[in-house]
């Protein structure tokens, strides 16, 4: 274990031995067994159902966690889950979520699914992965998750068993007596066998697996992508990639003395790998506050107090959460905090500075992808953090900046922008996604995963993300990086979040526009922000043609601005204005996602319509459309 300050330190670590020659665990069960042997009675995972400091919490030691994972794995095998069979979970954060993640990876292939997805998307993932067992919540107040999952299972014929987790045991006092009495009924019926997760686990042996633990590398997890561009794809993760993430955490970031506050969801790779796997490798203690993490009731208001209560040394966060946190006073002693890790989306420089000024602690920004089993690069915790960069590639990770040409791939020079391509132990070469056709043209030179992210590497080896290839705003053939707009508007003191996209335009194809969420209590108009943009965005073509202030920007569960919703909003606004100006009695009823055509505007007639005129008008835009009736 240790830290690093510069590229030379990382190269020295990499030179110690090849990754394949290292003494690392060869199975998930062996990995967890090493943690139990080294740290048995020490706390591993703690969980609070409620965000109030001092409210009831539950803790598993490394001995406890190992025993419960053993029981869960034995249960899954008893239900017919072999090494190539899938255990899916659709759960908020609970202790059982971590146990299922690990137990599913020991027994077969674990498939975490975002509980905020709609039933249709959940069902599509269950069908894609051919899940045999599903773990989810038992009916509980203020959540419709059991109903959504039941509807999803009804259309997923491979699911034979549903295991329910009851959150009541996390409650204290009167609530533990009242909730069972007001528990909502689940009206949706399906053919799968429904059982109680904890009761079934308790029937299984906790001291040893009931089956042989295979030590050969294999696929042990399916994680769906974040879904910022439509229906999620499913990435495959091998044991070696999962252990690699943990090894990096223990070797470079955490020690057994660390306590980590992680209000991120365990269906996402950030919490599952850089955090949970690093806890296993290092013996550090992780805290998960509330089922919904940062989205949980009172979490932002109480987070500083929770950090003080648990004496946390690190905070795990994302830019959107940091922005919300910075709008609240530091109302507790957080002197134990040594650092904060931010990922999932680029961190605005202004947020980095605000956090350091408020806490005296610097944010360590990193970079990872679901397709790489997460970790790729990080800023040195003990060295030079280049604000705006995502740091240096980890040992045994090879990052190249490439541009595709007619002749093949060309390596970019220092600070030249191209596509970020990655090879490391977390990249499943050739078969990243479960759907074979999704892997087409995914690798450069057969080995380097094409991330779809645009970036550059400076003379010191630091990696910068400059945008998403698919997020580029293409104005009359001129490529505009939305980050240019977003960074400029984030410099306004009233601005909390920005999402810049291309809105449809008859002449240019796209014109830049921006949607803004303000700091709590701030007031500023779109016109004010437009004047600010004109003064601070020096690339004339990038100045937005439209800026709108929203009460809240749409975001994914891990805090990324959800740009498809912004694009839907812009398409609706532009098409409706064009139809009204032309005197055509029609409007956009909805904008839907089509797998082949992308976002499609569905047009509703409001009266008699000259269809030829309407068609000529709408077809002058690049975006697809059709009639809603």
Domain with 197 in it: what CATH number?
3.40.50.12780
Among residues of the chain, what percentage have pLDDT more than 70?
A: 94
CA separation for the pair 216, 27 (Å, rounded) = 7
CB 195 within 8 A of CB 162: yes
Mean pLDDT within 422-435: 92
The range of the structural domain enclosing residue 598 comes to: 566-627
Q: pLDDT of 283-329, one tens digit each?
A: 999 999 999 999 899 999 999 999 999 999 999 998 878 888 988 99
Q: pLDDT of 556-598, one tens digit each?
A: 877 889 998 999 999 999 999 999 999 999 999 999 987 656 7
CA separation for the pair 100, 267 (Å, rounded) = 11
Whether 335 and 433 map to the same domain: the answer is yes
CB 485 within 8 A of CB 544: yes
Does any domain span residue 126?
yes
Whether 25 and 136 map to the same domain: the answer is yes
Does any domain span residue 2?
no
CB 465 within 8 A of CB 431: no
Helix axes 239-248, 28-39, angle to 10 degrees: 30
CATH number at residue 488: 3.30.300.30
pTM of the model: 0.81
The pLDDT of residue 97: 98
Residue where one domain finishes, among candidates 561, 576, 603: 561
Whether 505 and 618 map to the same domain: the answer is no
Residue where one domain finishes, among candidates 457, 488, 506: 457
**Residue 75: half-sphere exposure toward Cβ, Cα within 13 Å:** 29
Whether 519 and 380 map to the same domain: the answer is no
Whether 252 and 349 map to the same domain: the answer is yes
Whether 398 and 485 map to the same domain: the answer is no
Residue where one domain finishes, among candidates 541, 561, 581: 561
CA separation for the pair 252, 10 (Å, rounded) = 9
Whether 71 and 140 map to the same domain: the answer is yes
Q: Is 395 helix (H, G, I), strand (E, B) or coil?
A: coil
Does any domain span residue 1?
no
* First-last CA distance in the chain: 63
Give the DSSP letter string of 237-289. EEHHHHHHHHHHIIIII--TT-EEE--S-TTSHHIIIIIIIHHHHH--EEEEE
CB 265 within 8 A of CB 114: yes
CA separation for the pair 306, 314 (Å, rounded) = 12
Whether 548 and 592 map to the same domain: the answer is no
Q: Is 468 helix (H, G, I), strand (E, B) or coil?
A: strand
Dig out the tokens for 231 from the structure: 């229906």
Q: pLDDT of 189-238, one tens digit each?
A: 889 999 999 999 999 999 999 999 999 999 999 999 854 334 678 999 99
The pLDDT of residue 230: 45
Does any domain span residue 49?
yes
The pLDDT of residue 105: 98
The pLDDT of residue 133: 98
CA separation for the pair 91, 114 (Å, rounded) = 8
Helix axes 349-359, 482-490, angle to 10 degrees: 40
Structural domains of the chain, count: 3
Whether 318 and 420 map to the same domain: the answer is yes
Q: Is 464 helix (H, G, I), strand (E, B) or coil?
A: strand
Whether 175 and 51 map to the same domain: the answer is yes
Does any domain span residue 125?
yes
Does any domain span residue 106?
yes
Q: Is 443 helix (H, G, I), strand (E, B) or coil?
A: strand
The pLDDT of residue 480: 80
pLDDT surpassing 80 at residue 390: yes
Whether 403 and 504 map to the same domain: the answer is no
pLDDT surpassing 50 at residue 41: yes
**C-alpha closest to that of 586 among 624, 546, 626, 622:** 626
Whether 382 and 487 map to the same domain: the answer is no
């Amino acid at each position: 274990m240790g830290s690093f300050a510069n590229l030379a330190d990382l190269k020295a670590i990499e030179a110690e031995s090849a990754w394949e020659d290292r003494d690392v665990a060869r199975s998930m069960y062996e990995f967890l067994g090493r943690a139990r042997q080294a740290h048995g009675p020490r706390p591993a995972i703690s969980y609070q159902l409620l965000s109030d400091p001092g409210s009831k919490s539950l803790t598993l030691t490394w001995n406890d966690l190992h025993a419960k994972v053993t029981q869960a794995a034995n249960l899954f095998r008893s239900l017919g889950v072999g090494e190539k069979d899938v255990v899916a979970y659709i759960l908020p954060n609970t202790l059982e979520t971590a146990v299922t993640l690990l137990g599913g990876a020991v027994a077969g292939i674990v498939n975490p699914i975002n509980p905020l997805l709609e039933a249709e998307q959940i069902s599509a993932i269950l069908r894609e992965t051919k899940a045999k067992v599903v773990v989810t919540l038992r009916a509980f107040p203020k959540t419709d998750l059991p109903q959504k999952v039941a509807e999803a299972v009804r259309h997923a014929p491979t699911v034979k068993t549903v295991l329910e987790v009851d959150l009541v045991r996390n409650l204290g006092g009167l609530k533990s007596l009242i909730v069972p009495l007001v528990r909502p009924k689940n009206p949706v019926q399906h053919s799968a066998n429904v059982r109680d997760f904890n009761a079934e686990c308790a029937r299984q042996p906790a001291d040893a697996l009931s089956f042989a633990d295979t030590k050969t590398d294999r696929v042990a997890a399916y994680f769906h992508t974040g879904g910022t561009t439509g229906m999620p794809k499913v990435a495959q993760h091998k044991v070696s990639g999962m252990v690699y993430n943990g090894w990096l955490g223990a070797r470079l970031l955490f020690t057994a003395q660390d306590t980590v506050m992680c209000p991120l969801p365990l269906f996402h790779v950030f919490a599952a790998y850089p955090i949970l796997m690093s806890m296993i490798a290092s013996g550090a203690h992780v805290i998960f506050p509330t089922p919904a993490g940062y989205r949980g009731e009172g979490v932002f208001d109480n987070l500083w107090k929770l950090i003080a209560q648990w004496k946390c040394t690190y905070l795990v966060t994302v830019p959107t959460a940091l922005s919300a946190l910075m709008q609240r006073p530091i109302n507790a002693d957080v002197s134990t905090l040594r650092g904060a890790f931010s990922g999932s989306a680029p961190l605005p420089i202004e947020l980095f500075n605000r956090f350091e000024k408020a806490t005296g602690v610097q944010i360590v920004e990193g970079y990872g992808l679901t397709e790489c089993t997460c970790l790729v690069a990080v800023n040195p915790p003990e060295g030079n953090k280049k604000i705006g960069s995502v740091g240096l590639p980890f040992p045994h990770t090879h990052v190249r900046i490439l541009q595709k040409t007619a002749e093949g791939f060309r390596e970019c020079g220092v600070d030249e922008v191209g596509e970020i391509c990655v090879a490391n132990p977390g990249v499943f070469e050739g078969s990243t996604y479960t759907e074979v056709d999704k892997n087409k043209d995914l690798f450069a030179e057969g080995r380097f995963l094409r991330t779809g992210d645009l970036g550059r590497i400076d003379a010191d080896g630091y990696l910068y993300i400059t945008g998403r290839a698919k997020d580029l705003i293409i104005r009359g053939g001129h490529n505009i990086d939305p980050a240019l707009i977003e960074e400029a508007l984030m410099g306004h003191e009233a601005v909390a979040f920005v999402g810049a996209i291309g809105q449809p335009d008859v002449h240019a194809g796209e014109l830049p526009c921006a949607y803004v969420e303000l700091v709590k209590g701030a007031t500023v108009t779109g016109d004010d922000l437009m004047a600010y943009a004109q003064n601070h965005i020096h690339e004339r073509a990038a100045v937005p043609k439209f800026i709108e202030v929203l009460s809240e920007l749409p975001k994914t569960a891990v805090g990324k601005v959800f740009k498809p919703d912004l694009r839907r909003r812009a398409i609706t606004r532009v098409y409706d204005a064009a139809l009204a100006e032309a005197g055509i009695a029609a409007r956009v009823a909805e904008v839907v996602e089509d797998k082949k055509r992308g976002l499609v505007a569905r047009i509703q007639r409001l009266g008699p319509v000259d269809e030829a005129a309407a068609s000529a008008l709408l077809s002058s835009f690049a975006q697809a459309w059709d009639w809603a009736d």
